[in-house]
Amino acid sequence: MSEQPFFHSGETPLTDVIRKLGRAFLEDLRETNYLLGSGLDPARRVADVHERHQQITSPELFARFREWLKNGGDEPGAPLLHEFLVTQQINRELRGLTDEINRFELEQQGLAGREMVPFRAFPTRLANAANPAERRELHKAFMELHRKFQPLYRRKFETAWEWEEKLGYPTTIQRFERLSGIELTPLRDGMREFLSRTGDPYRDLLRSRRAALEGVDTPTGADLPWAFRGGEFDRFFEPAPMVEAARGFTGAMGLPWDGRRVTLDIEHRPGKRPRAFCSAIRAPHRVILVLEPKGGFADYRTFLHELGHALHYSNVDEHLEFEFANLGDNSVTEGFAMTLDHLAWDRVWLLKTLKMPRIHVEEFTRFAWTWHAMLLRRYAAKIEYEMALHGARSFHGMEEHYAQAQGAATLFHTTGEPYLYDVDDNFYCARYLRAWMFAAAMHEGLRERFDEDWFLNPRAGPFLKSMMAQGQRWPADELLRRNGMPGLSAGALWRRLEEAAG
């Protein structure tokens, strides 16, 4: 081994070395993930990115950073850099598995009836299958593929658990809490209360989906995507005018997206991931929004969600430090994304931007709130289950736990095959839950300041832009506080829902 650390000249401060290496690594990784997720280049490998950027994930650099912290190293962005370095230490160990999982997703097909269906095509097929028997066949094949996935995922969890222990964190819960500064227990408890308070309103709302579930005795996971597809509203959500509608209102409020910075990849392509995403390859200069169209309301709300990310990333102050522009609390970027996607079922937005006839607004928003309630309840059950899984560090009983929790929350009978697949890395469910609270606070604050049609008010855009310019320098709650907005609370979520169920 060389005595001379290859990454550190001794003159450049250690944190600047990390920023420089981190920027190059993330740009390469995000480009790779874009090419993989968009279906443009399925041969890309995450392991190659790690191969090209060994310095940023090297144990030597990590040890030096920890030493620097121990000796009182202190900079405003240090906690964000620390979280990034720990995550990448673990991701380095997972790189081969990450590629195996990507390949599996891309190559596996399931036999439904007499037809082979690619793994990634199942969600869209399920959402569009009007016949209950066909849905059951599709769902059975999809769940069998999930079962084939389980050994890969068990290896992934075991590797991550082993490495976080080596890095000084007895559980994933402690890793998340100590590095992010966000406590999971109060968040879970707030969502527990959400579940108990919204049981009756959700049951009431769900009655509006009865027609979609005709011929079904016991609704199951096979029926859920179809029940919330809402095809009867497709005529209000035609594909052609979607981008123009978004261009119209963002322009009116003074927050248009910059076409030189933001690229839209929204055409159908085989192999494109069904779940839309936004890749901030180099914020604020190069941002790509990726969406595989499915039709109707889902496309509008997903497009608005990803547009919220794209606006956030492309408006980040270009002089901001690497860690504030690229790292930090993702509840912030998810919060801006949800602030925009909530518009897709905002009465005033539907009337003024989409020109939905008033007589249909009531019926449609009831449908959308039902879907939203299901989603929030699903995530309330998710954080409960994920804390149990990561707390126990064992798979014993977890498949049943997952099925029971999801079934009780959504009221659609659920089976447990996706019990490891349906777990986002690094407690991302907590970022989503905080983001829904952020969006609820934003809608309340924006309406108060800029009226109920704030999304057309030319004073709203510059206000949002000034918040977005700070990247993720502040955690979501702090960013709200600094801008005079209400704070994060689970109460705001159930109050809006009770109103909607009225």
Task: List residues near Zn ion by CB under 5 A.
Answer: 334, 337
Closest CB to Zn ion among residues 212, 276: 276
DSSP code at position 259 = T
CB 260 within 8 Å of CB 282: no
The least CB distance from residue 258 to Zn ion, in Å, is 20
The least CB distance from residue 337 to Zn ion, in Å, is 4
Closest CB to Zn ion among residues 331, 406: 331
What lies within 8 Å, CB to CB, of 203 at 6+ separation is 411
The least CB distance from residue 287 to Zn ion, in Å, is 13
Closest CB to Zn ion among residues 414, 426: 426
Q: From CA 413, how far away is CA 130, in angstroms rounded?
A: 18
The least CB distance from residue 309 to Zn ion, in Å, is 6
Measure the N-to-C terminal CA separation of the chain; round to a whole number of Å.
Answer: 69
Q: How many CB atoms lie within 10 A of CB 485?
A: 19
Q: How many CB atoms lie within 10 A of CB 33?
A: 20
The least CB distance from residue 227 to Zn ion, in Å, is 23
The least CB distance from residue 341 to Zn ion, in Å, is 9
The least CB distance from residue 91 to Zn ion, in Å, is 20
Closest CB to Zn ion among residues 135, 301: 301
Closest CB to Zn ion among residues 61, 337: 337
Q: How many CB atoms lie within 10 A of CB 258?
A: 13
Closest CB to Zn ion among residues 58, 339: 339
The least CB distance from residue 38 to Zn ion, in Å, is 16
CB 314 within 8 Å of CB 281: no
Closest CB to Zn ion among residues 252, 262: 262
Token output for 119: 């793994």
The least CB distance from residue 234 to Zn ion, in Å, is 24
Closest CB to Zn ion among residues 58, 315: 315
Residue nearest to Zn ion (CB): 337
The least CB distance from residue 435 to Zn ion, in Å, is 8
Residue 458, CA distances (Å) to 254, 450, 454, 484 in order: 5, 9, 8, 19
Closest CB to Zn ion among residues 368, 403: 368
Q: From CA 463, how far away is CA 453, in angstroms rounded?
A: 15
Question: What are the φ/ψ torsions at residue 262 (nearest 5 degrees)?
Answer: -110, 125
Q: From CA 499, how far away is CA 438, in angstroms rounded?
A: 18
Tokens 């089976």 found at: 415
The string of DSSP codes covering 14-34 is: HHHHHHHHHHHHHHHHHHHHH
Q: From CA 430, how far away is CA 411, in angstroms rounded?
A: 22
Closest CB to Zn ion among residues 334, 417: 334
**HSE-up (13 A, CA, CB side) for residue 304:** 25
CB 439 within 8 Å of CB 342: yes
Token output for 443: 């809608």
Amino acid type, 188: R
Closest CB to Zn ion among residues 287, 337: 337
Token output for 452: 């109920």
Helices 184-206/358-392 angle, 10° precision: 140
Closest CB to Zn ion among residues 334, 386: 334
The least CB distance from residue 30 to Zn ion, in Å, is 14
Q: From CA 392, how far away is CA 112, in angstroms rounded?
A: 36
The least CB distance from residue 368 to Zn ion, in Å, is 18
CB 113 within 8 Å of CB 103: no
**b/e burial code for range 116-143 (CB count within 10 A of at least 16 → b):** ebbbbbbbbbbbbbeebebbbbbbebbb
